[in-house]
């Protein structure tokens, strides 16, 4: 199984899009998306310096556009899983069939502008805490009146909040962690971004999303999201909610992902995945930074992706677990039976109770992918529903 990852803010580098503009149609594509995002993506990706592309209002649409531009040159129909970090979730939502590229770039433009405006209201910032016990680090962050804005894996948690409190945290690092101030405009993924969340919600309400055609992992809790409208709601909420990339990586491991492609500007997420998943068998990774890397990325998809078929086939949707527990299929429901959209096909039993698992489209229960009392993880496929195109 192969996953494609879309990076978030901080991954950008001056001139990183220059080689991509040599591909036919790439510059025209970026100019069209520039009109939607309200920024000059061609200039930002080729000629702008580090300070200019550090501006949140410019960086966010630039990163989403870069990921989508590169993905257009990959056989994405053979990719099973997509995920993005922070604003990268908008790119993943498009690659997973929920948003059109135009909607993703437009929302990235709104998100970037509104988060930049929210940063200007109160002086805030972010600091990375490296090492230490995760529980002690989070407790120390909260004890200083700060927020754990991003948990990027073992030994890397980002604190966010008022600048004076970040200074006190640096003077008294919790759990033996090292504190490194980040060069960002403000406290992203915290309640300080509430005005931006409200503004993004107003625009997102006008979008008609599709339901996912791939497994899309959410930064909110690492789970796979089955419904397009729910994913859009999560994307809006994520402006003020912490990024749980650690849980996304855990789900990648639970799904048995054997290969990963990180879209440009690539390297950050690939490094996190390599370090976090090495204990369970690190996946094969391609960092897609220039068109020269496309051949390696296509080869990886050919070897680890879904086998393509040239025969007319039904359209399949995979129903996945939203939480960890044990699976109980609905009594009397068998492979070959018709199911309707919203029909409960089973439950995931947890310590807190049983969570319903519903079909998200009408079709035929083609195959059980989990069986009675099987332990399941968030995002794990449970059943395959087929419906004719």
pLDDT for residue 221 is more than 80: yes
Work out the average pLDDT over 190-194: 97
pLDDT for residue 198 is more than 80: yes
What CATH number labels 2-118+191-304? 3.40.366.10
pTM: 0.79
Query: What is the H or E stretch that residue 37 is in?
Result: helix 26-37
Q: Which long-range contacts (CB under 8 A, 24 or more apart) does 102-105 make?
A: 102/33, 102/36, 103/207, 103/209, 104/64, 104/68, 105/33, 105/36, 105/37, 105/61, 105/64, 105/65, 105/68
Indicate the average pLDDT of the chain: 91
**DSSP class of 265:** S
Whether the CB-CB separation of 179 and 170 falls below 8 Å is answered with: yes
Instruction: For CATH 2.40.50.100, list the domain ranges present in the chain.
Output: 315-387
**315-387 is classed CATH 3.40.50.620:** no
Quickly count: other Cβ atoms within 10 Å of residue 295's Cβ.
Answer: 10
Residues in contact with 252: Cβ distance below 8 Å, sequence separation at least 6, in sequence order: 3, 81, 83, 217, 260, 273, 277, 283
pLDDT for residue 387 is more than 80: no
pLDDT for residue 316 is more than 70: no
Nearest to 18 by CA among 268, 294, 288, 291: 291
Give percent of the chain above pLDDT 70. Answer: 96
Instruction: For CATH 3.30.70.250, list the domain ranges present in the chain.
Output: 119-182
pLDDT for residue 385 is more than 90: no
Work out the average pLDDT over 84-99: 97
Instruction: For CATH 3.40.366.10, list the domain ranges present in the chain.
Output: 2-118+191-304
Nearest to 76 by CA among 67, 64, 87, 85: 67
Whether the CB-CB separation of 166 and 182 falls below 8 Å is answered with: no
Q: Please, which pLDDT band fits residue 308 given cuts at 50, 70 and 90?
A: very low
The pLDDT of residue 276 is 86
Residues in contact with 84: Cβ distance below 8 Å, sequence separation at least 6, in sequence order: 5, 6, 7, 8, 67, 90, 91, 92, 93, 219
Instruction: State which CATH number among 3.10.310.70, 3.30.70.250, 3.40.1360.10, 1.20.120.160 fits the domain covering 119-182.
Output: 3.30.70.250
Q: Please, which pLDDT band fits residue 279 given cuts at 50, 70 and 90?
A: low
Q: Which are the catalytic amino acids?
A: 86, 189
Q: Please, which pLDDT band fits residue 117 given cuts at 50, 70 and 90?
A: very high
Q: How far is CA 37 from CA 42, 87, 117, 171, 197, in A?
A: 12, 14, 16, 40, 17
CA dihedral 215, 219, 221, 222 (to 10 degrees): 40
Whether the CB-CB separation of 322 and 344 falls below 8 Å is answered with: no
Both tokens assigned to 297: 């990325």
Start-end of H helices in 78-182: 88-95, 101-119, 134-143, 163-171
Q: Are strands 325-329 and 315-320 parallel, antiparallel or unpaired?
A: unpaired
Q: How far is CA 323 from CA 102, 218, 374, in A?
A: 32, 12, 13
pLDDT for residue 319 is more than 80: yes
| pLDDT tens per residue, range 46-76 | 999 999 999 999 999 999 999 999 999 999 9
The C-alpha atoms of residue 181 and residue 80 are separated, in whole angstroms, by 36
Instruction: Give the neighbor-by-neighbor strand order of the sheet with 178-182.
Output: 147-153, 156-162, 124-130, 178-182
| pLDDT tens per residue, range 282-301 | 899 999 999 999 999 999 99
pLDDT for residue 315 is more than 60: no
Both tokens assigned to 138: 């989070």
């Amino acid at each position: 199984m192969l996953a494609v990852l879309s990076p978030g803010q901080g991954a950008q580098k001056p001139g990183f899009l220059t080689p991509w503009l040599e591909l036919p149609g790439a510059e025209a594509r970026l100019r069209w998306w520039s009109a939607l995002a309200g920024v000059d993506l061609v200039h930002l990706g080729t000629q702008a310096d580090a300070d200019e592309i550090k501006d949140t209002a410019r960086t966010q649409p630039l990163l989403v556009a870069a990921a989508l531009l590169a993905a257009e040159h990959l056989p994405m129909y053979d990719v099973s899983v997509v995920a993005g970090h922070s604003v990268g979730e908008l790119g993943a939502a498009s690659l997973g069939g929920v948003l059109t590229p135009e909607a993703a770039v437009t929302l990235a433009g709104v998100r970037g502008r509104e988060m930049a405006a929210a940063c200007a209201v109160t002086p805030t910032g972010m600091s990375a805490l490296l090492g230490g016990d995760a529980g002690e680090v989070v407790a120390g962050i909260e004890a200083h009146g700060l927020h754990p804005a991003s948990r990027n894996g073992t030994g890397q948690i980002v604190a966010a909040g008022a600048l004076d409190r970040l200074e006190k945290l640096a003077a008294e690092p919790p759990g033996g962690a090292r504190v490194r101030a980040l060069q960002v405009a403000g406290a992203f993924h915290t309640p300080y971004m509430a005005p931006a969340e409200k503004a993004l919600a107003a625009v997102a309400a006008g979008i008609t999303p599709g339901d996912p055609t791939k497994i899309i992992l959410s930064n909110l809790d690492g789970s796979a999201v089955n419904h397009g409208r729910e994913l859009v709601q999560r994307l809006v909420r994520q402006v003020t909610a912490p990024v749980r990339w650690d849980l996304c990586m855990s789900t990648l491991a639970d799904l048995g992902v054997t290969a990963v492609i990180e879209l440009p500007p690539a390297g950050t997420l690939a490094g996190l995945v390599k370090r976090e998943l090495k204990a369970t068998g690190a996946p094969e990774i391609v960092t897609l930074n220039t068109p020269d890397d496309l051949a390696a990325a296509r080869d990886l998809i050919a070897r680890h992706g879904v086998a393509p078929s040239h025969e007319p086939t039904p359209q399949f949707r995979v129903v996945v677990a939203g939480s960890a527990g044990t699976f109980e299929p609905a009594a009397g429901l068998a492979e070959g039976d018709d199911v309707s959209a919203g029909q409960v096909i089973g439950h995931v039993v947890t310590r807190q109770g049983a969570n319903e698992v519903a079909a998200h489209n009408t079709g035929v229960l083609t195959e059980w992918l989990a069986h009675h009392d099987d332990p399941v993880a968030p995002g794990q496929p449970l059943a395959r529903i087929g419906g004719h195109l």
